[in-house]
Structure 1
Amino acid sequence: MIMDHFHNNDLEYVVDDPFGDDLFREDEPQRNDDLDDAVDSEFEDDFESSKPQTDTSALEARNGKDIQGISWERLNFTRDKYRETRLKQYKNYENLSLPRSELDKECLEVEKGQTFYDFQYNTRLVKSTIVHFQLRNLLWATSKHDVYLMQNYSVMHWSSLLRHGKEVLNVAKPIAPTWQRPGLLSKSLSRVQISTMAVKENLMVAGGFQGELICMYLNQPGVAFCTKITTGENAITNAVDVYRNHNGSMRIMVANNDAKVRVFDAETFASLNTFSFNWSVNNTSVSPDGKLLAVLGDSAECLIADANSGKVTGSLKGHLDYSFASAWHPNGQVLATGNQDTTCRLWDIRNLSQSLAVLKGNMGAIRGLKFSSDGRFLAMAEPADFVHVFDTQSDYVKCQEIDIFGEIAGISFSPDTEALFVGIADRTYGSLLEFNRRHCNFYLDSIF
């Protein structure tokens, strides 16, 4: 992962604002929003400061209110005009300059305009923030009413039922681990800038910008375990995951910029294994049966490895740039990978010679991928503005396109698939968007 733009000592939270006036100044070069450490909002600042920032309900949206609360009627341009200009001028960040002229020909022709999830609510009481422009796994839903997200130095819990936000963990303060055991490599931390997180099975795991790892049980006070897994200068923790191995034991997997993947026992926090690779590892994910490991990073090639030994057993070739996201279909046979070449590739794990299909984004890299737990939908997030929800039963050709404005900090289906949450990182319009799954109920269904 390229780190030239960031310095650990003075890093600010990235809350890039896509609404800056410079987007419309044709005599000035378009800035790449992704590369600004922190950009002040220039859009509606005077107007917003003079009134309270209100949330948006489904009823208000049906009556014509913008779901993000943007007052387009007060601006000198329409939403459609702004979208048109944004699409033309947005510059996607690239690391590799491989030829991409043939890429569009590989991509599926998709039927957009579907509605699988209806807008339900948007709140600004909790605001997603991101600490690095390439990492976006900072939002997790543990139920259709419970969401965990990063807001600056706080891990926040949002209850969509109570419409209430609460701080779960403040990582700006000193953190002392509550578990002390002989041989446990735990140490106190302070002022951690969280770069990635995962919340599964009542365990929250977070990785830090300087190689930190924090583990906290949601039903227990304090942080159970925390440490620095590496001390290198370029030691950002890029991805963490909580999973069950092939024997059913719960594990924590940590992917780091030092080109290593580390495995911890989720019950004792003992270090179990370290796998080394030839490039920085940006993302890992373990297959549903706990046997296979997808490894993605600063390479156009993605790897499949044995999740127990780390031995590479296959490679996935087709992407044209670095990869940052992956997700396994619950059936364990299909793997999705997201790349800076603006595509998601789908792979049949039984035949890795070529991808099953290629799904295309509108503007930027594919930074987030999540399958619903029933395998029916694949959510695909770009760095900003667009989340695509594909119907897997249609072989991914039917798609809902969620069109918004702002950097996307994370996406998450609720475990029961009834809700989809999207975190928006923006100084003015930072918020949490909630969508509810649409069900087609017929009259005859109600009498049986």
Structure 2
Amino acid sequence: FSTLGWPEKTEDFEYYYPNSVLSCGYDIIFFWLARMVFSGLEQTGKCPFSVALMHGLVRDAQGRKMSKSLGNGIDPIEVIDKFGADALRFSLVMGVAPGNDVRMSEEKIESFRNFANKIWNASRFVLMNLQGFTPKGIDVSKLSLADKWILTRFQDTVRTITDNLESFDLGLAATNLYDFVWSTFCDWYIEAAKQGLYAEDGDVKETTQEVLLYVLTGMLKLLHPYMPFITEEVYGYLPGVEGMLISAEWPVCKDEYDFTAEADQFEGVMEVIRAIRNLRAEMNVAPSRKATLIMKAHEGWKDALAAAEGYFKRLAGASSVEMLEENAASPEKSASAVTEPCEFFMPLGELVDVEKELARLNKDLKNIEGEIARANGKLNNAGFVAKAPAHLIDAEKEKLVMNQGLLEKLKARIAEMESIR
């Protein structure tokens, strides 16, 4: 209070004292917090804050207290020069439970520099696709399935993060925000939005632009307390915004943007896309190679899957989508998988060059058999078992089990390829 003009009753003193929350390390409760309370009550008759938020200490990667004698300190100025202030700020909070100590390392800070880069690149993509765009507001009657999904998930995120912050769980709020930005918005919605952005229908493109702008704007507001610099910079380029982000209103949930049923449908579409991607990866199929996608929709999913054809083409490498009745005969010589919404099939002949794939698999099989023989030779060698440290013996056993599992998978894949030869 001495900085606010006390003992005079200045405007600043009346406005800022008492404050609401004091953030304080648990190691100085008596030396600092208690004495602030004593002094405030003695000099003004009022406690200087109503809530004391205790945080932990910043330790090194091994959990040791930083000290000159150990030489394990991290100079924040050097770290900021190297990775940026936003990355340092986020690393001090992300995933930290209230009151717990923070383990700090340059590797951890670097990972959040990568997160900042992700935000920057996603923002650039959105801004590139908003050139010449004048926002008019979202017309809910024109929203796609992916639009309804991201709007619903954004409302969920606003509620969750607001609740986290109001209960002072800053680490959990940061974790939830990180997951939304990286996985939900960047990994899924931006990719799905390309279908709308590149559509010939002007209304479809404009609706996608409105949703991208709405979600990005709200996302920057949620991120701002943690990463003020990058968010303020991006915010200044958004069309239709006025003033600075630091003084903008906190996002509020809108009931008209809650589409729970449609969001659940898109989650089902995402599950199918993940399964297709996994199947293609197992079969070593190049991302550029397209193939027919044949589906047997489970009860209640046929319309949603048929409407999602564009997403399967853009996000799962499908050249076309065919729907079969659930009791129809399954296509022969096809790779398949079962998900909650459907069972799907992809003709193997369209996915891989069978002879080339068999040659690759047999080569891998030989290598794995060689590794298994080598591990068995070591483990059956009495001299090795008697003299080698226990951790080396355990490592060899783990490798043997892993390679035996790989061997069985390779044999199954070879049999599958042989069946369509």
The TM tier, using the shorter chain, reads under 0.3
Larger Rg: 2
Q: TM-score, normalised by structure 2?
A: 0.22
- More helix by percentage: 2
Identify which of structures 1 and 2 has the higher relative contact order when contacts are C-alpha pairs closer than 8 Å and 6+ apart: 1
Q: TM-score, normalised by structure 1?
A: 0.21
